[in-house]
Each structure stands twice: as C-alpha cells, then as structure tokens.
Amino acid sequence: MWADQDRARALSQELRILQKELATWERIHHDVEGLFSVAQSAEEEGWRDTALSEEIQNECDRIVEAYEQEQFLINFSGNYDSGNALLSVHAGTGGVDAQDFAQMLLRMYLRYAERKGFQTSLAHESHGSEAGIKSATVEVLGDYAYGFLRTEAGVHRLVRISPFDAEKMRHTSFALVEVLPVIPEVGEIELDEKNLKFQASTSRGAGGQSVNTTYSAIKVTHIPSGITVSCQNERSQAQNKVTALKILRARVYDYMEKKRKGLLKEIQGVPMKAQWGNQIRSYVLQPFRMVKDHRTEMETADTRKFLDGDIDAFIQENVKKLGRV
C-alpha cells in the first residue's frame, strides 16, 4: 500500500476520520453519563442551588450541540463523501458578465474552504478575454470536503447592474458549478492508457518564463466516453499530466455513475446548460440584495457576506434536505 502514495493518503485520511468520530462519540457518551450522575445526585439530595442548575443546563446544551454536529455527519453516507473534492466553475450565458460571475463564485468557494479549514489547489484556470474566467477547477482537500460541496453542483444565476455596460442596464448571467470526488488511482476507476489520447501544447496566460515557450499544457481525452480534460497551470508537462488524469478519473467516475443510475439524457450529450430555467440558486445584487436557494427556499439579504464565503448554513440545509442523490 505504501508504494502507492495517493492510495496511502486516502486510506490514512479515512482511518483518521473514523478514529476522530469514534473518539467524539465516546466522549459524548462519557459526558452524558457524568452529567446524568450529577443531576441525579442533586435531585436525590434535594439541592436547589441555582448556580448548579445553570451549570447543568449549560453542560447539557454543550453536549446536545456536539451530538447534533456528529449526527449531521450521518448524511455523508456516500462512498467518497468523507474525501477530497474537485470543484469546477464554468461561465455560462451572459458574456463577460458571466465570466465575471464565474470568478466571483470561485472566490466565494475559496473563501468558504478557508473558513472550513480545507486546503485548496488550483488545478486549471482559463481567463476571460475582458474580465473574469471562462472556467477553473480547484482541488479541495479536507475531511468531508466532497460531502459538504456536492450539493453546490448546478446552475447559479446572477442579477445586477452590469459594470461592463456603459448604459448601466440590469443584466442576468449564469455560471455552472461542477463538483466531483477525487478518485484514488487504484480503485473503482482505472484508466487504461490505450483508451487515452494525449495532446501537448504551449500554455497561455500568466505563469512564468515557461509559458508560451514549452509544450507544458496537456489535453487528455478518454476515448470510450469522449470526456476531455485540459490542464496548464503546472510548470511542467509531467505535473499537468498528473493533474489532468486526476480530473479525468473523477469525470469518468461521474459518467459511469450516471450510466449505472440510468441518467441517459446526460450520458447521451444533453447536459444541464448554464442558462435560464436550470438555476439552483439566484444572486440578486440590484435593485435589491438577496441570495435565494430554489431547492430549500432558504434566503439571505446579506449578499456581501455570502459571496465572501459565509455559505455553510445553506450547504448544511441542502445536505439535510437532499441527502444522497
């Protein structure tokens, strides 16, 4: 096992999570027994100490909060919920506004990951011609990163007065968020080299002296499914190849899962489009401020705080309501 570093890291992470959960449940059980003993003794001896009653109530509240936090983790029952995630943002309908919105969402998720204590690594980024990004993929590393982020997948809609419109007209733009689990190299999905087509090219955009001078960018196609992944963010072709294969493995897994569940429309080339009618959440910045999730009906007027990554309440509500898909 230790010869395969990715598999070793995945198993070590899984073991650490299980050990942490076990220790937490044991601590909750121990605290409940201790508090019950104190409360029982107080009742039997007829104590009427207000300070003691308050202390017992405070301790009870703390235990209930710890219990509810652990109980929430039961929602993460999928094979890869406890592991890392690949989050991609793609600009949709709306031109330069959509590209700017895609960058706003990318920043929001990076800030959210920071708040949760997750680590992030930019795997791919394609800049817009005027502003924003056409697409970007980030690897999010941390306990339950995929479990928390998976319900963010879907179309997001922005309504605002466009900063790119000289007439200051109100515009609607869209972006698509894709969330996939990081799949170990040795596991359910093993990519056969004979089913892969590799193309090298020069990188574009910022990145140092190697950009536009060496063939470091990689495009890899999984021939049986037609899935294509490009990567150019790393300095060397070898590093980009490793990253591209990691993303491809996740997308092939997603493809196979949809095929297994019979989601034929998505398999046959009719994926969800980032346009009107498909949105899971709306972000309205003008003429009023509101973020509304159309699946749970949850909303907030504090758009600034939300776009700065304070989205955990929305994510938890979706996880509880939607569960495993």
pLDDT at 209 over 60: no
Q: Please indicate, yes or no, whether residues 218 and 312 belong to a single structural domain of this protein.
A: no
Does residue 15 or residue 172 have the better pLDDT? 172
pLDDT at 228 over 60: yes
pLDDT at 4: 59
Domain range for 223 is 193-265
- Count the alpha carbons within 13 Å of 82 in the hemisphere toward its beta carbon: 17
- List helix spans (H) across the chain: 5-44, 50-72, 95-116, 145-149, 237-261, 264-267, 303-307, 312-322
pLDDT at 101: 97
Query: Is residue 171 within 8 Å of 283, Cβ to Cβ?
Result: no
Q: Please indicate, yes or no, whether residues 160 and 36 belong to a single structural domain of this protein.
A: no
pLDDT at 210: 44
CATH number at residue 208: 3.30.160.20
Read off the amino acid at residue 141.
L
In a domain? residue 80: no
pLDDT tens figures, 89-139: 999 999 999 999 999 999 999 999 999 999 999 988 989 888 999 999 999
Stretch 238-245: mean pLDDT: 87
Of the three residues 225, 244, 265, the one that is the final residue of a domain is 265
pTM: 0.76
In a domain? residue 226: yes
Q: Please indicate, yes or no, whether residues 171 and 279 belong to a single structural domain of this protein.
A: yes
Q: Please indicate, yes or no, whether residues 281 and 176 belong to a single structural domain of this protein.
A: yes
In a domain? residue 230: yes
